[in-house]
Chains A and B, each alone.
Chain A
Amino acid sequence: MTRQIGNHGLFCLDDDDYAGFALALQCNAQAIDASLDATSDALNGYLDRPYLTWVNRAAQNISTGSGVTMPNGLIGSPLSPRGSNVDVISNGIPIDNSFWPRGVYAVGSTIAWTVGSPQNGTPRTLNLWGQFNSNGTVVAPDTASNFYFTSDYEGSTAGGALTTSGFLVNNGNMYIALAALYHTNTLGPLAVAAGAWRAWAIYLGSGLEL
């Protein structure tokens, strides 16, 4: 009789089973093939991980007081992967209303601007968060998780740059990540050149119990 050993589907033969040699060796070859194929698929999935990048395609002016309400209640001008003014590279992350693959994402954004009428000491923050939708209802963004920002204050040299990064945890209900710039320079807008505002999300893995 042939006996299966271990957990990879491999067989061995007993002394009195010479007639089963050919089939057992074929089964072993097939088991090795199937086991390696599963491992290969898992590794290729890891190496071809989903990601998304989006960058502003055209120059834009960012004024105060307009845009989207951010998780902290302030209003910022957004850079959305679904915007009309962005170039997007997506590897397996949807940019429609579909949910993103469940799991953990490393996210980041970077922006540079000039300002014609700077107000010394006014803040600028670059914000980054995930939007969630549960059973058709958009969930209010949480400031305690899935929300990151970096800030600076306008100095005596007009113009600036910020970079923000963090991690988003998608329990299955996240459908978009947004970056937004907030500032209080009421004397004039911040001017962002084409290609000077970029954001990204990189799938790290499914995470535990997600």
Chain B
Amino acid sequence: MPASTPNFAIVYPCAGDTIDPGVFQDNAESIQDALDTVSALADMAVRPAAAHALRNASQVAPINVSTLISYDTEVYDRGTIFDVALPTLMIIPENGSYLVALQVNILAEPGTTFTSFRGSLSVGGIEVAAVKSDGALTATPAYPIWTAYFLAATTIGTPITSNVLVTGSGTNPTIDAQIVVTKVANV
């Protein structure tokens, strides 16, 4: 008879002519290896690589200038996606497909004329998602915009950045923001 099972190579403990404690140990260790393999898959499913970062302190967004959003707070980070030492970057930690979502709020609007408010996501420096509100806007209370993107079949190390652009005239506005990156598929 075969010496082990077909999928996880679990050793049959009494396959030989004699009872050998070493084979029983092999049996236990191969079951352990099989459980580790499946546990790793379960962990990937239940706890995927993901990060959530905030721009908590107000950030000045110079009027009429597209500005990189700089995040100052890590809410959670599984997979080393965000590093406060590189506050404008989210880095894809392993190959796969990811959902990315961005929300931006205006905290203090330009004083004179406030004409539009735009947020965007870029991957490798190329804009991939955006949202813009036009017209007569008011920023009291905070005026949120959001956008999202599905990053399919992405390779490890790919950088994600986010920008904000407020147009109008008067004083420079301030914003806060949050960004979420979550792995949703291994391929």
A interface residue numbers (CB < 8 A to B):
21-22, 25-26, 29-30, 32-34, 36-37, 39-40, 43-44, 46-49, 51, 53, 89, 91, 106, 108, 110-112, 121, 152-157, 159-163, 165, 195-196, 198, 200, 202
Contacts and interface: CB of A to CB of B under 8 A. Distances in A.
Contacts of B58: none
Contact of B116 (A21, A155, A195): A155
B150 A157 contact: no
A157 B128 CA distance: 21
Given A110-B147, A155-B115, A33 B5 contact: yes
Given A43-B38, A53-B152, 20 more contacts: A22-B14, A25-B12, A25-B14, A26-B1, A32-B31, A36-B35, A37-B7, A37-B8, A39-B38, A43-B41, A48-B187, A51-B97, A51-B184, A53-B150, A108-B148, A110-B149, A165-B148, A196-B127, A200-B149, A200-B150
9 nearest A-B residue pairs (beta carbon)? A155-B134, A33-B5, A161-B130, A22-B14, A200-B150, A43-B41, A110-B129, A163-B147, A161-B132
B37 interface: yes
A91 B131 contact: no
A156 B134 contact: yes
Contacts of B129: 110, 163, 198
Given A39-B38, A110-B148, A161-B118, A21 B14 contact: yes
A192 B42 CA distance: 42
A154 B134 CA distance: 6
Contacts of A157: 115-116, 134, 167
A47 B128 contact: no
13 contacts: A25-B13, A26-B1, A26-B14, A29-B27, A32-B8, A39-B38, A51-B185, A53-B150, A112-B130, A121-B135, A157-B167, A162-B131, A163-B148
Interface in B140-185: 146-150, 152-153, 167, 184-185
Given A33-B7, A36-B34, A152 B41 contact: no
A47 B34 contact: no
Nearest to B113: A156
B128 A198 contact: yes
Given A91-B185, A110-B129, A155-B116, A36 B8 contact: yes
B126 A195 contact: yes
B11 interface: yes
Contacts of A152: 132-135
Contact of A202 (B42, B131, B150, B167): B150
Nearest to B130: A161
A29 B10 contact: yes
A32 B31 CA distance: 8
A159 B134 CA distance: 9
Nearest to B128: A198
B99 interface: yes
A108 B133 CA distance: 18
Given A33-B10, A157-B116, A202 B99 contact: yes
Contacts of A155: 115-116, 134-135
